[in-house]
Structure 1
Amino acid sequence: MAAIRALRKLCQHSQHQACKLHVSASRQEAVVISGRKLARQIREEARADVEKWISAGNRRPHLSVILVGENPASHSYVLNKTRAAADVGKWMNAITDPSHYIQNLVDYYLKGISSETILKHSDISEEELLDLIYKLNTDHRVDGLLVQLPLPEHIDERTICNAVAPAKDVDGFHVTNVGRLCLDQSTMLPATPWGIWEIIKRTGISTFGKNVVVAGRSKNVGMPIAMLLHTDGRHERPGGDATVTICHRHTPRDQLCQHTKIADIIVAAAGIPNLITADMIKEGAAVIDVGINRVQDPVTGKSRLVGDVDFEGVRQKAGLITPVPGGVGPMTVAMLMKNTIKAAKSVLQFPPERIRMAAVS
């Protein structure tokens, strides 16, 4: 009888091992989340919202973008923003920029979001830039206003961000909007964190009670997405009820690994190429890559964009993953369009006097 029991256990063990091998061998790569597809969906929603707004007798929402200097990345990014505004309307537009980098004027003849890019030389003084912002703050035709970062070194970014009227601050960088975000109140959410939040919600990634690692502590991305993910889902601005750990470029790698290996969701936003590798994540984790890093391809010698995640390696182990490019980037621009519509509606609730006071406070 003992021999029979031993043989039965051996057979059970063999079946269990065979089952494990089958699961391992048949495991598929991570689902790649297309930010482009999600962004198209959001732009369709924005288009319908604008049409409803216009049909109620309101004018088209208008976005003004101030671009200082000759930063190629900023030029490309702003061009994408204005192109996205055009896509919301799907109407003819006029491009009048001689540099071929910037779409200085995008005007739509029927319905949709209109936008303009105001290009200023890098030697503009901080006072001149503040005067321009004040002018746009008090212009009732301007609903949304953003100043593209980074700015030249002689201009203080925090001063400029706080100069934009909170009701027109579609970047969500004014101290009032940041404060309301931290207090779980309705506000202008920064476009990139809001885009990440929409990716998580629209793909059905569960956050309630989950472990999340945010690798990156910037005030524009890392901090806001951490706030969105960890705060109470029952508050005025609902959060994700997750347990969030914030790491950054100075977190020792062994400690970073300790956190990421137990994380259900990883948001990589540290600006370090291939910071997150396959050995650092647990099986089936959701990985959101916010990084945009330009590196030289060792084979072709040409520069290419990569994220903060080793995409090819991590996709073999993760459950879901966003690519770079084509992941968070398109969502950022889409959420900026949503903020512009929100700003158009909010301006009607704030008399000009309040906007001016907010701009200089």
Structure 2
Amino acid sequence: MTEPVSAVPAPAPSMSARLIDGKAFAAAMTQRIAAEVHAFHDRYRVTPGLAVVLVGNDPASEVYVRNKALQTHRAGMRSFMHMLPATTSQAELLALVRRLNDDPEIHGILVQLPLPAGLDPVAVTNAIRPEKDVDGLGEVNAGRLALGQPGIVPCTPLGCLMLLKSELGDLRGLHAVVIGASNLVGKPMAQLLLAEGCTVSVGHIDTRDPAALARQGDILVVATGVGGLVRGDWIKPGATVIDVGITRVTLPSGKTRLIGDVAFDEAVARAGRITPVPGGVGPMTIACLLNNTLAAARQIVGAAADPGGTP
């Protein structure tokens, strides 16, 4: 694949693509969730609780985790923060996960990725009980998604799908191209699009001509972590573009700004619809985390209160 786009600011684009406002969608979704949390509490006298574990002191992760905590409180849920030093051992982290698994006040557990070197993220995510795995990354929920069975869906792909359906409605028959094949976004995104009836192609680091592949997509979802990778001429005219990436770059002036995996100024001249960065996918990820936590609480608390019934 190509190198990331230069951090030098481009001229203001001549807009043609419709901007997909993930921030507004997420705000409305969070407001609905807050009302449902209130109703859940009235019924069961239980407040959904989300535990977030951060290992190390990565500044970007710290800001992101604190924002999750803020949004959790705004939705009327309880937030339990666990900030661990980078020297935390695998055994210590797994012991914490086991305690959270057994804590009745915790209905969702999220271990912030990436983890420091020396810690195994697969072992950690698989240690979370499936019913509390609100990131949907454990092998049980990932397997359920692959088999088309009910389970907890990873937050970012779920948010992307919600935005796509809000813009396009029925997705059946559309060709969706996903650039990036991570367990966190690319693979579950492809599974969700297949379930919606799309024809799905997945590009990755070994794809020989990713630009040619991308140009086939009525829908183009990009999640590579490489800022500005996808240029304007990679995009099929009129396509709907979902940009999952977010990278902070330094400008010649010394100031910084956020860019996505798509060269936005070029893309807006060809795409029909596109998510901005920031303000597109990011807010949806947190809203879907809240949605998954409430769903987990309903399953756990409802099943305990009404064995054999419907939560």
TM-score above 0.5, yes or no: yes
State whether structure 2 residue 264 is matched by structure 1 residue 311: yes
- Residue 115 of structure 2 corresponds to 151
CA distance in 2, matches of 1:183, 1:325: 33
Deviation at 1:306, TM superposition (A): 0.6
State whether structure 2 residue 125 is matched by structure 1 residue 164: no
- Residue 11 of structure 2 corresponds to none
Deviation at 1:205, TM superposition (A): 4.9
- Residue 33 of structure 1 corresponds to 20
State whether structure 2 residue 84 is matched by structure 1 residue 120: yes
CA distance in 2, matches of 1:345, 1:58: 12
- Residue 92 of structure 1 corresponds to none
CA distance in 1, matches of 2:36, 2:165: 20
Structure of greater Rg: 1
Which stretches of structure 1, 4 residues or longer, exceed 3 Å deviation after superposition?
Answer: none
Deviation at 1:251, TM superposition (A): 2.0
- Residue 246 of structure 2 corresponds to 292
Larger relative contact order (CA 8 Å, sep ≥ 6): 2
State whether structure 2 residue 218 is matched by structure 1 residue 264: yes
Counterparts of 1:72-91 in structure 2 under 5 Å? 72-88=59-75
**Residue 192 of structure 2 is aligned with which of 200, 223, 228?**
228
Q: Secondary structure at the match of 1:223?
A: helix
- Residue 282 of structure 1 corresponds to 236
Q: Percent identity?
A: 41
1:171 touches 1:336 (CA, 8 Å); kept in 2?
yes
Deviations 1:262-321 (CA, angstroms, capped at 9, x unpaired): 2101001011111111111121110000011122223x2322211010111110111100
CA distance in 2, matches of 1:211, 1:187: 25
Counterparts of 1:101-116 in structure 2 under 5 Å? 112-116=76-80
CA distance in 2, matches of 1:348, 1:55: 13
* Paired positions, count: 291
Deviation at 1:28, TM superposition (A): 6.1
Deviations 1:115-148 (CA, angstroms, capped at 9, x unpaired): 0211111111111111111111001111111111
Deviation at 1:349, TM superposition (A): 5.7
Q: Secondary structure at the match of 2:117?
A: coil
Alignment RMSD, CA only?
1.5
State whether structure 2 residue 169 is matched by structure 1 residue 215: no
Unaligned runs of 5+ residues in structure 2 are 1-13, 305-311
Q: Secondary structure at the match of 2:62?
A: helix
- Residue 246 of structure 1 corresponds to 202
- Residue 9 of structure 2 corresponds to none
Distance of aligned partners of 1:250 and 1:329 in 2 relative to their CA distance in 1, 3 Å threshold? same
- Residue 347 of structure 1 corresponds to 300
Q: Which amino acid aligns with 1:48?
A: A
Q: Which amino acid aligns with 1:140?
A: P
2:15 touches 2:268 (CA, 8 Å); kept in 1?
no
Deviation at 1:350, TM superposition (A): 6.1
Distance of aligned partners of 1:294 and 1:33 in 2 relative to their CA distance in 1, 3 Å threshold? same
Q: Secondary structure at the match of 1:56?
A: helix
State whether structure 2 residue 286 is matched by structure 1 residue 333: yes
Deviations 1:204-248 (CA, angstroms, capped at 9, x unpaired): 354211111100000010000000001xxxxxxxx2100111001
CA distance in 2, matches of 1:285, 1:204: 11
State whether structure 2 residue 98 is matched by structure 1 residue 142: no
CA distance in 2, matches of 1:214, 1:177: 21
1:205 touches 1:286 (CA, 8 Å); kept in 2?
no
1:136 touches 1:145 (CA, 8 Å); kept in 2?
yes
Tell me the TM-score normalized by structure 2: 0.90
State whether structure 2 residue 68 is matched by structure 1 residue 56: no
Q: Secondary structure at the match of 1:136?
A: helix
CA distance in 2, matches of 1:38, 1:324: 15
CA distance in 2, matches of 1:57, 1:146: 24
